[in-house]
Chain A
Amino acid sequence: MARMKFICDAERCIECNGCVTACKNEHEVPWGVNRRRVVTMNDGVPGERSISVACMHCSDAPCMAVCPVDCFYKTDEGVVLHDKDLCIGCGYCFYACPFGAPQFPQAGAFGLRGKMDKCTYCSGGPEENNSAEEFRKYGRNRLAEGKLPACAEMCSTKALLAGDAEVITKIYKTRVVTRGKGEEIWGWSMAYGGSGKLADQPGGRA
């Protein structure tokens, strides 16, 4: 079974924001709501590195753990999704999330929080696949079309990788081995924990 993951190769990310607009393009999320962002460390000085971050679709997701109405679920592929019909917009998940992934569109004149919105790994939500209703609430469902998230597919330098952990680990590993470094910056273990050795990661032995 596929386990869907993102990994951003910091040796390649050039902070071009292609992933950000690819996401806007595919899901037409409103101004001010950003499912994906690029974060830069040591901006403007040697050691500058950028990574693209969105919902990491955690194995043990803190958002799921704290949600008072239990609107989160996880698909067979390990994608963390939620039901907007159930969401009450309380913002608990935002405080729980280590990555700041949950977003809250402004609702009404008093700046009340709307229902939570976040990266769906381009796989929609609990509505009929590729239906108008699904798009309206969650955006496109590329996974159901046999495609991967738009952000990674369009990444300018192929820094942001998406897909089955086994497949993308192999791609990432090839690069790390070829250049002889890079893992320590924002490698698999930084993203998902566990052993720091690529060989210990899914697909890493192959």
Chain B
Amino acid sequence: MMLTRKTEGRAERANPLARAMSALSAKTVDRRTFLKGSGLTAGAAAFASQLPLGFVGEATAATAAGTGKMERKRTVCTHCSVGCAVDAYVQDGVWVRQEPVFDSPLNLGAHCAKGASVREHGMTEHSHRLKTPMKLVDGKYRKISWEQAINEIGDKLLALRKESGPDSVFWIGSSKFSNEQAYMYRKFVSMFGTNNMDHQARICHSTTVAGVANTWGYGAMTNSYNDLQNSKAIFFIGSNAAEAHPVSMLHALHAKETGAKMIVVDPRYTRTASKADQFIRMRSGGDIPMLFGMLYHIFKNGWEDQKYINDRVFGMEKVREDIMKKWTPDKVFEACGVPEAEVYKAAETMAKNRPSTVVWCMGQTQHSIGNAMVRASCILQLALGNVGRSGGGTNIYRGHDNVQGATDVGPNPDSLPGYYGLVAGSWKHWCRVWGVEYDWMKSRFVSQAMMEKPGMTLSRWIDGVTEKNELIDQDSNLRAIVYWGHAPNSQTRGLDMKVAMEKVDLMLIVDPYPSASAVMPDRKDGVYLLPAATQFETSGSCTASNRSIQWREKVVEPLFESKPDHTIMYAFAKKFGFEKEFVKNIKLVKDKQGWDEPVIEDITREFNRGLWTIGMTGQSPERLKAHMRNMDAFDAKTLRCTKSVVDKETGYDMNGDFFGLPWPCYGNAQLKHPGSPNLYDNSKHVMDGGGNFRANFGIAREGVSLLAEDGSHSMGADITTGYPEFDHVLLKKLGWWSELTEEEAKEAEGKNWKTDLSGGIQRVVMKNHGCHPFGNAKARAVVWNFPDPIPQHREPIYSNRPDLVAKYPTHEDKKAFWRLPTLYKTAQQKAITDKVHEKYPIVLTSGRLVEYEGGGEETRSNPWLAELQQDNFVEINPKDAEARGIKYWDYVWVSSPTGARIKVRALVTQRVGEGVSWIPFHFAGWWQGKDLLEKYPDGAAPIVRGESVNTATTYGYDSVTMMQETKTTLCQIERA
């Protein structure tokens, strides 16, 4: 057995190693050397260039025996939401070693390919980083100074603002920002005067956040990766955790080892599936038939938790009637292709092995009915009484390292930080926190109406540029696009995007790498690239998927001419003339080049003063840093510190805290709320991280109470039945008002638990009375404010089954939906009329590879990762391949109904079923067969370039959130 993969007679994943191996020798590419960037001596450089052949380690040899002091910096991997801690060792300002952090309760030292390679950080002159500001001049990127960049870009944006209004600019922010930067970006764009901003969450879990929050209160993973260890059954649907969240599998496989049953439902036999007890191959987009098919058996056999439903769930009876009528086993099989026996088995496993948990990811969210699919998952868990239980819950794995945090506090077009929304009261709350006048804030916008109208979404900005002006719900079309820490190749409809990119007056890209935005459009000018520092070159907090917040120390100074995002924001704020308002409560320090940098800890403290809704008020920088220094104090199963452990630096005792103070961590830091490891868990006291479902939807509906039944409450609560959320009136009625201090009472007068900046209401309610500030209500199985209150299956816009489209058609078209007209029925019917399914008979779905992340620019520029995946490919079933004369690793053309054609390798494999294909979405840098290498700034092209699947993807958006439909569309494949 060689250390290669065998290819004979079986499918395998693309692996260039085999080829490299068979040749016995492979071309050695430019190795990273720290020398030029690190100030090591010229002598050492000369030595490195004369290395004898066959030796490893080249240049850093100099650092192995280096003279400088070795410093340890603790940071967190930036590649997914698991939150793996990393110890970076730094010498002479160079990151020279990376060590595992065994103490971390989240990852216990473990890393996937990405985490184990984060040290490769583009430190040398030969790296692929964007090193200086650049401007596109006559079709070629030229280096410019920061000063020139800020001035030219600022002047252009100010001119556009004056000419076409602030809504003419669309600001894409980033889930790669720290919480502090994401929060400042929301503030920054608000002060520019628009809600036209968004970030990765739109195309990641927006449907989850909306669906889940509307079901029971908060749009977040209810439990944690660690809590999987308490599960007796784990049900993955639309999640390939083994590739997308590899370290989460440490907990899942541990659970499996101790007896948990594992079920994987997916159109592909994924690596996660290979670890499952039961794999169910489902038709892409068949989530609701599958989940409701399971519920059919659960209800039929009386496996539901009747007491739980009675006490804590609203509307289950109606859902039950709908399911028993519509989702009989034959209908389930017809719509999602899963036979009754398999559905029954999965239902039985989940019902008889409680607590059981459901895990979902993009496979469930990225559909035109994603909001309904995620609610079907919630309903399954509510019926089984699994939510608010350790080992149960809906474990929704977020994507980026801080996509949860950016969703919580960052650039969302429909809400201010903390899900406060955009109504006048919300603006007033935040203006108070920011220390600015509400009227001044309002004056920044075109009008109060525009100030309160949600902006366009990331998934649709292209239509904001190209749609007819009379059809859009704002004055001007978009005239400038800002990609600040976001790849364009993760969004659908590449052909249309190119047109939009060419049409705008200005493109601004702020990123550590040029990203595909730099090369997609055929433009001669009007594009600027600004080098941003990575999260290893600054400090700040980030929220893992389980809501634990971790603090990153700065590992190295920003490389080359890059600047941290918040520093760049401040520079633009100055140019725009609102820098004083921007940092009213935040000190500035000078960085090494004399730039003003807002102090990160001050930003944390500012949002601590305002984020009462989600309890991001108790996580002071001091508490978070103490946790990072004492990770070994926390249990890897419960995440709790159960004894007195005192942080040496601050004297803070972590006794009782849950690691990273997972939000909600209510009250101010002095209240010492321990954080909430599992949401809605009424087996615990609220001051112990317990809770119940949120009263956020009124107290009654059609004469039925929405509050929890008698006897259903968090442990030790003074009110032993359901109750509404707390405000000054309720507090007075209950006679608790006098328990506020004089100062608290002054601030709390006229306020509620969300707007009382003193935290007094939260303190009295929780600490003195064991009640939950957001009330105690029922979860909603029926979400009456959504297009389908009871989740309904609807076929995707591009379906391969006209017969099913006839039975399960999509929604009616929408006007002025997130400021844009949006097609449903028209688009779906046109596809049927045009017989698209005959010309493009293969279902196309997309997903992740373990080696790359997101748009992939950063990871494809990392040679340790790039070497492992050198070509983009399409997974195609052997039968489909044979019918088309396609052999393993042939080049093929994948064409889509948009007319796009992309050239990728064919990975012939049984991973995908007949009639289904799958392409990873991390690639970019090719355009319909052509390598765009020459269009990148010199030396800044990623090592591996390839065709982006989203060049070919089609129209289709979720009916609540504008999530793009990437997981189910159609294509044709032919030999190239």
Contacts and interface: CB of A to CB of B under 8 A. Distances in A.
Is A–B contact present in the complex under a CB 8 A cutoff? yes
Interface of A: 11-12, 14-22, 24-34, 36-37, 39-40, 42-46, 48-50, 53-54, 84, 87, 89, 91, 94, 98-101, 104-108, 111, 113-117, 130-140, 147, 150, 153-158, 175, 178-179
Interface residues of B, number: 76
A95 to B, nearest CB: 11
A94 B275 CA distance: 33
B3 A100 contact: yes
Nearest to A148: B100
Contacts of A27: 56-57
Interface string B1-28: 1111100001111000100110111111
Contact of A40 (B5, B64, B850): B5
B258 interface: yes
Contacts of B61: 132-133, 135-136
A105 B10 contact: no
A39 B111 CA distance: 18
B864 A106 contact: no
A157 B110 contact: yes
Nearest to A113: B25
Contacts of B97: 26
B632 to A, nearest CB: 16
A114 B54 contact: yes
A206 B272 CA distance: 33
A191 to B, nearest CB: 12
A50 B6 CA distance: 12
A19 B250 CA distance: 15
B850 A139 contact: no
A42 B10 contact: yes
B766 to A, nearest CB: 38
Given A22-B111, A42-B10, A132 B24 contact: no
Given A99-B1, A154-B110, A178-B258, A108 B53 contact: yes
B54 A32 contact: no
Task: Give the most central of A40, A50, A99: most B CB within 10 Å.
Answer: A40
B432 to A, nearest CB: 45
A37 B25 contact: no
B21 A30 contact: no
B28 A31 contact: yes
Interface stretch (B139-147, B239-247, B395-403): B239-247
B246 to A, nearest CB: 4
B436 interface: no
Interface string B32-71: 1000000000000000000101111110111011000000
B256 A179 contact: yes
A32 B11 CA distance: 23
Contacts of B64: 130-132, 134-135, 140
Contacts of A108: 53
Given A30-B56, A178-B257, A22 B28 contact: no
A11 B243 CA distance: 16
B463 interface: no
Nearest to B2: A100
A68 B176 CA distance: 54
Given A15-B271, A45-B269, A106-B28, A156 B250 contact: yes
Contacts of A175: 257
Given A18-B116, A31-B31, A94-B24, 20 more contacts: A11-B275, A12-B249, A14-B246, A16-B113, A17-B850, A17-B851, A24-B117, A24-B864, A29-B57, A32-B27, A39-B5, A48-B269, A53-B1, A117-B56, A130-B65, A133-B61, A135-B57, A136-B58, A137-B56, A150-B100
A105 B243 CA distance: 30
Task: Give the most central of A17, A29, A30, A107: most B CB within 10 Å.
Answer: A17
Interface of B: 1-5, 10-13, 17, 20-21, 23-29, 31-32, 51, 53-58, 60-62, 64-65, 97-100, 102, 108-117, 119-120, 242-243, 246-247, 249-250, 253, 256-258, 269, 271-272, 274-275, 279, 850-851, 863-865, 867-868, 909-911
B5 A104 contact: no
A137 B246 contact: no
Nearest to A42: B10
A22 B98 CA distance: 9
A84 B55 contact: yes
Contacts of B26: 31-33, 106
B56 A33 contact: yes
Task: Give the most central of B53, B57, B102, B868: most A CB within 10 Å.
Answer: B57
Given A107-B54, A132-B62, A32 B246 contact: no
B851 to A, nearest CB: 6
Nearest to A53: B3
Contacts of B17: 34, 37
A156 B111 contact: yes
A154 B54 contact: no
B954 to A, nearest CB: 26
B112 A17 contact: yes
A141 B258 CA distance: 36
18 contacts: A14-B275, A17-B868, A18-B246, A30-B29, A32-B20, A33-B26, A40-B5, A44-B13, A44-B909, A45-B910, A91-B24, A105-B53, A113-B25, A132-B65, A136-B57, A138-B56, A155-B110, A156-B115
A110 B387 CA distance: 64
A94 B23 CA distance: 13
B119 A100 contact: no
Nearest to A34: B17
A137 B52 CA distance: 9
A82 B726 CA distance: 72
Nearest to A17: B113
